[in-house]
Structure 1
């Protein structure tokens, strides 16, 4: 008798989980996603600028044995193991992978919901592109000093648009000072005006008010951060304060061992990982492994994710890669300029290629562990002692 696994969400985590699960002949997999194609979310700034389409057919990234339902979950009935869809139908499940992802948040700033343009979803990025096409000379004010805001500002500036970036704090807060200076130099060369300290207090139809009294004219693009769906909370599942599904270290819901979480919308032991495909892809794979352990009656392994750094695109010709320790702490190593751009593009392509490879050969993705990361770090340290290279690698734009 087959086990039916329902995967909610067709982003990086959901697709990886569905592909990995599809390798078992005794497991049937259904993926529910509101869009008819896979969205390459890390390219949405390019979608907004018109430099990339951002879409892939499901056949490119999803295994043949995965059934796709184009709809959106509105309620999870854990008592009866059914999910209600927006279209009015119910889907039963034996096990559920909760990978609904995240979306933009306006942080409650007055006027942001009504007047700001976002870039966090394919639909919002497409709307931004259409608005830019109809206002070719309008300046743009991007709110948000993290990767999304920086990448959007740089991409638009490279097309010749006048851009101001309002950070509301430190530019690129994750990266080390040396990498931050490289980011700032590249933005300056693109003509982006960077305002670090002022915060947005109100968005109007064609202007943005700052807390230092200034008013910036132009289209406002909101890129300040992400929020998660309240589906878990509405369904009576335990969540953290932001609405992320609370799980144990195996990604199993603290309420129901038939529900396993993955990606941005999950908080293992109450501690979410950084919202990124770098976390989502391995979390999706580990969620699938946990489900299969439950199906087999085995004890699931705890999450053991490692991080490698953060890539920030700075237009098509430059990027900055900030390296990190396995625990996601930035270190004194970054690559910027053209070398960074090649690294960023290579990593971005490898993400989709990795999903496609898992679709063809479920279970083939090898997940790095903290133990392997420590071994690499020790080897690197030994090499450092022998070769004594400079403490920081840089290729500036």
Structure 2
């Protein structure tokens, strides 16, 4: 027992949160607002930049539309949380310390790991050097400047997932003078109901986006991308060669596609810091958690958002803002419960929807079952645009409500939505 405890002096419980994305900010605001002064808890949020990155709007920034300058310290105002700006360079899970910029060392009693993920440009030669990404606002602004100066030419978007679809649509709408090509293994909207998927494809056609699925990019060069061939639905390469972008859709003799600009949206990777620290991680480097979102190897570490491998009844969650914010809230509530001598509750989450913007004037919203499989219900057109904009703006309203709630309350994630309950007591 420490001398302070023997003297009856309460020690400060130090909670350090790494990463101020949607999950990390949700954890910081929820915890700092719910903790009581008598509990003597210090909440510190660490992030490399003071500017909050609106990842849900980066495809807009990439096409030249300015985003709001959102300050993380301002978002934390009134919560009692402290902000520390700096790059996290190391985590010592045994000493319970975090090193920032190789100079400052922050000790912790509880760590919330929310460093998230970035586009995986490491798996394909040349992608790191010759492709743009949407890893942050600065990346999006650099791409926007490049597109504005291009005048004419071809923009190749690699990756037919939701980020690729939204980016291709936004660029095509804002820059009709450019040829936009969307390349990917799967068909855009493949996980949607057939009617929603058909609407999405028709919208891309209307915008002039040339879609070619069933291809695999194997190399990125300064003025082109090389394709391995056609892949089947199981992801196997069947025919060597490339895809005919002139419209036949079959294998041809050419093995590359000319590209003045390449945007890489295919796959994600996480920081190796967790693995180096000795935390148990999955094959992708994400921290493996228990049912309460604690590291299975180091229970004083909570992992949230894209950095966590969180298993639910339907499988391991995939990274989205929809799932990230509830994980941050749950971690905060669980920490409070532990501080108050109670066991954390299991985290349960079900997906609710998949909103996809198709430029500024069109969108499709696919409602889903909790396991993310599609329902028949979906929205399209202007109704979907309004719905998508409401969802994109939802974090600000949620964080504002967190700040106003009494210390005994909490936003508890259920079914992909936030519900007010008294679970933190």
What TM-score, normalized to structure 1? 0.89
Q: 1:152 aligns with which of 163, 167, 173?
A: 167
SS at match of 1:274: coil
Task: Give the secondary structure class of the aligned counterpart of 2:215.
Answer: coil
User: Which structure's CA Rg is the greater one?
Assistant: 2
Residue correspondence of structure 1 range 189-338 to structure 2 within 5 A: 189-211=206-228, 212=242, 213-269=255-311, 272-338=316-382
- Cα distance in 1 for residues equivalent to 2:144 and 2:339: 45
Work out which of the residue numbers 187, 208, 222 in structure 1 matches 2:204.
Answer: 187
Count of aligned pairs: 373
Partner of 2:62: 48
Deviation at 1:136, TM superposition (A): 2.8
Structure with bigger strand share is 2
Provide the residue aligned with 1:91 in structure 2.
106
Provide the residue aligned with 1:387 in structure 2.
none
String of CA shifts for 1:10-40, please: whole Å, max 9, x gaps. Answer: 0000000001110212321100001111111
**Residue 243 of structure 1: how far off its partner (Å):** 0.5
Check whether the contact 1:19–1:362 (CA below 8 A) recurs between aligned residues: no
> Could you say what the CA RMSD is over the residues aligned between the two structures, in angstroms?
2.0
Asked if 1:17 corresponds to 2:17, the answer is: no
The alpha-carbon deviation at position 295 of structure 1 amounts to 1.6
Q: Partner residue of 2:411?
A: 366
* Distance 1:215-1:8 versus aligned 2 partners, 3 A rule: same
Judge conservation of contact 1:49–1:155 (CA < 8 Å) in 2. Answer: yes
Q: Distance in 1 between matches of 2:97 and 2:405?
A: 29
Higher helix share: 1
Alpha-carbon distance, 1:47 to partner: 1.1
Aligned pair in 2 of structure 1 residues 371, 121: CA closer, same or farther (>3 Å)? closer
Q: Is the contact between residue 7 and residue 97 of structure 1 (CA under 8 Å) also seen in structure 2? A: yes
* Alpha-carbon shift at residue 274 of structure 1 (Å): 1.7
Query: Contact 1:32–1:71 (CA<8 Å) still a contact in 2?
Result: yes
**Cα distance, 1:63 vs structure 2:** 4.1
Cα displacement (A) at 1:128: 1.1
- In structure 1, stretches of 5+ residues that fail to align are 374-397
Question: Structure 2: any 5+ residue segments left out of the alignment?
Answer: 1-9, 229-241, 243-254, 419-425
Partner of 1:385: none
TM-score w.r.t. length of structure 2:
0.83
Q: Secondary structure at the match of 1:366?
A: strand
Q: Take 2:25 and 2:116, find their aligned partners in 1: how far apart are those partners?
A: 12
Residue 139 of structure 2 is aligned with which of 124, 131, 134?
Answer: 124
Q: 1:225: how far off?
A: 2.2
Q: Is the 8 A contact 1:8 1:100 kept in 2?
A: yes
Change (3 A) 1:44 1:74: same
- Say if 1:310 and 1:372 are closer, same or farther in 2 by CA, change over 3 A: closer
Which stretch shifts more, 144-153 or 192-201? 192-201
CA drift of 1:150 comes to 0.4
